[in-house]
Amino acid sequence: MRLRRPSRRALAATAVVVAIVVVTAIGLAQGGGDGAVRRPDRVPSVADARQQVRGAPAALRRLYADGDALLRVNGDEFVALVRRLRGHPVVINKWASWCGPCRTEFPILRRAAADHGSRVAFVGLNSGDEPADARRFLRREPTLYPHVRDPDEQIASALEANVTYPSTIFLDAKGDIVQVKQGVYTSLADFERDLRRYAGARPAPGANGGLQSVGRPSR
């Protein structure tokens, strides 16, 4: 029995269906189940977070002076921004307002930035998003730290994080990538484990499992 060769139209339709299935599977895998994300017991306001990092080095104070602004910079300007943070570990969180896991993870980043932002630089990377939607979301989840617009994921690609939402990139004090976490953090404890490993944070003595950063801040 001779098999008929499928038409180009049939092949194209099959390819579309496969692509949809793959994208859906990736989204489900990235999400890890929004209900599994544990919100921290305390998420500080921006005012409280600023109070917690009031003793930060000058470079970090300048970074946080922009608050949760959505900055439009090109690749060279982003490199310059990171270069100004040399001497400090940097955490870059890639997110989008349409990404459910990103939204549920945000309180973890807000709490961690307040707790550790005096030693570790935090930066948001808003990728593949509409500015109006991103700003609307930031009004609901305001952060201590600013966010860089990355509509075409060019910066995310340079950071080896252009596939998964959310992604969290850890840079060492020299500005080198040391870890790219693909997917959502499900708890503050999970995030702080990576802070300890990749950003020089350790348990604070007698602090009920909380973390503090180590090393003298550079000024």
* pLDDT tens-digit series, residues 173-206: 999 999 999 999 999 999 999 999 999 754 433 3
Phi, psi values for residue 39, rounded to 5°: -70, 140
Residue 115's closest CA among 37, 210, 216? 210
Q: Which residue has the tokens 């300048």?
A: 62
- Per cent of the chain over pLDDT 90 is 72
Q: What pLDDT score does 66 carry?
A: 84
Closest to 203 measured CA to CA, from 214, 213, 211: 211
* Structure confidence at residue 40 as a pLDDT band (50, 70, 90): very high
Give the angle 128-177-156 at the CA atoms, nearest 5°: 10
Given a cut of 80, is residue 89 above it in pLDDT?
A: yes
Position 29 pLDDT exceeds 80:
no
Catalogue the E-assigned strands of 57-162.
70-71, 90-95, 121-127, 147-150
- Give the pLDDT confidence of 116-152 residue by residue, as tens digits: 999 999 999 999 999 999 999 999 999 999 999 999 9
Q: Which carries the bigger pLDDT value, residue 99 or residue 210?
A: 99
Query: What digits encode the pLDDT tens for the residues 96-124?
Result: 999 999 999 999 999 999 999 999 999 99
pLDDT at 206: 34
- The dihedrals phi and psi of 15, each to the nearest 5 degrees, come to -60, -40
Q: Cβ(151)–Cβ(128) under 8 Å?
A: yes
User: Amino acid identity of 143?
Assistant: T
| In the predicted structure, residue 2 carries a pLDDT above the cut 60 | no
Residue 138 makes CB contacts below 8 A (sequence gap 6+) with 68, 70, 147
- The 3-state DSSP class for residue 114 equals helix
The tens digit of pLDDT for each residue in 71-87 reads: 999 999 999 999 999 99
